[in-house]
Structure 1
């Protein structure tokens, strides 16, 4: 059985209901109310005292009330005078509705022309993409693990993406690295970006421990960009990081030796095992359901 389709709330419904209500009220004012008043309405004469002349002496007696039908044209005029202020009020509300509609239309037009960037960290044929850890270095007896994130950014929309900024962070650590692209990404275009950083201290210990034991290590990628109307958008995706199963023992040994080493770099067996071409390429698995896309709220 197919599920019912969710209908989004439309901002035009209040305007339609207001217009229908105004039309019904106007029709009642124009025809129903005055006609009913003309058919059923009566006008009472004011009480008055009639002077009855008497030959003996003059005396006064209460006069009788008089009844007469209300004139239809007079009722129309009276009702028109009564609802003149109401008509002015509804005219103002109608004008406000028109202004609000124009504002909504202009707002939606700014958001219709929106780009959509898809960040990819998969290894490409030219060697770009992925997450690679290279030869560690030591500064003040603290081992730093150089890491490079290679991104491929694809614009899947017919709108250009301007002021593109990419940020990568490992959720289980405090490591974050971001950089902006120097050029926009055109419609259906692709651009590559490499983020180079260094994971050191307790963050390096956490990274190595989780990689060696196969625990969950989450990389969160956030890409923000704008369209030609200066509206900002954001794409977010998460990856799970792990060591290659076929090289887990070797890579785990290298990483553990790097963070355990306390000797000077020139005498370090760990850093000595890392040649200029030795690299550890991490395996990335996209987290299902982690993709998200939306507008960045202006602060």
Structure 2
């Protein structure tokens, strides 16, 4: 089977995990009712909370996490593959994993992925983030082999590191993903370019569910949940920051077709890099 209907859920999660789970359940149910076989949610599906004390107090170990529990139930109830873009998980170390989950139609967990690249940045207008202060970075890239596609997992800031997706593509991934909570500032500047570039570079479909809008009255995310073809065409987009579900019927065989047309993955070569220091010799007129 090469044709599959996919859906991506745009959320506006806040500090109320119970309300976020209700929104998750409602929108995943909507996607399943429309025939989606694979449904993806954004980064931080379970909670967005800028108050660190309240944030930590809301978190659970994986085996006790209510988002993980509900996702398993939803996957089984609707008979779908459900990809939770990420939700924070409390670790024994005291740090937190920004962890993605993929569930099978029987509700079983297929795999997890912990975000590798930490969003430690200083933006314009005083906007600054230090994800590594609370998040434990992952060290393992993941490709999940589903019945209808090979799915490369990534999260948000990972989209800026093309080597991750190239490794997944070389391992057979024909669909890649970067569910996100992009800031409005970086989203307006770079979101669409990065999504299309990663799809084109790897000859893969790209699906990125996003957070959108104002969270807790003081954090803004960009939205614009998107599905891109291996040729870089935008197949579906929520062109706003409101909660929404978008859909696309994708032919996974299009990935192989794109790679046959432009076999850059096969054509890549090893090379040496030399830095040449000028001697500063004066050229006389």
Range class of TM-score, shorter chain? under 0.3
Q: TM-score scaled by structure 2?
A: 0.23
Report which structure shows greater RCO (CA 8 Å, sep ≥6). 2
Q: Pick the structure with greater CA Rg.
A: 1
Q: TM-score scaled by structure 1?
A: 0.22
Greater share of strand residues, 1 or 2?
A: 1
